[in-house]
Amino acid sequence: MTKNMINTKQAPAAVGPYSHAVLVGNQAFISGQLGLDPTSGKLQASVTMQAKQAFDNLKEILLEMDLSFSDIVKTTVFLTDMTDFAAVNEVYADYFGEWKPARSCFVVKELPLGGSFEIEAIAMK
């Protein structure tokens, strides 16, 4: 089975020793995306803006593999504050529309670089 590391200059560089995604056969395992602006490398100010930026970064990684949000079958969302759940759900719904992949959501003590939101995904070609 073929394995390929996927990286794109259209999304922020990884903040550690990992790829944006790994494509194994027809499955894409996409690393967690923070709300980092790809140009400045800085986090967006609010959790809503971080979520939108993280989804935009995720979109760029998907495009690198000729995939879209409708190809995502599972996501995991990480928040640092559960009171952000409703606001993040609104952003999430805007990006996925009618398609509803399986999802888990966890509150964690902290995220890299002081982020408030992170999303990882599994997609199928």
For residue range 17-60, what is the model confidence (pLDDT) as tens digits?
A: 999 999 999 999 999 999 999 999 999 999 999 999 999 999 99
Render pLDDT for 63-84 as a digit per residue (tens, 0 to 9).
999 999 999 999 999 999 999 9
What CA–CA distance (Å, rounded) separates 97 from 118? Answer: 19
The pLDDT of residue 1 is 86
Q: Does the annotation count 14 as an active-site position?
A: no
The pLDDT of residue 68 is 97
Residue 38 belongs to what domain range? 3-124
CATH of the domain at 30: 3.30.1330.40
Quote the number of domains for the chain: 1
Three-state secondary structure readout of 35-73: CECCCCCCECCCHHHHHHHHHHHHHHHHHHCCCCHHHEE
Of 87, 105, 113, 122, catalytic: 105
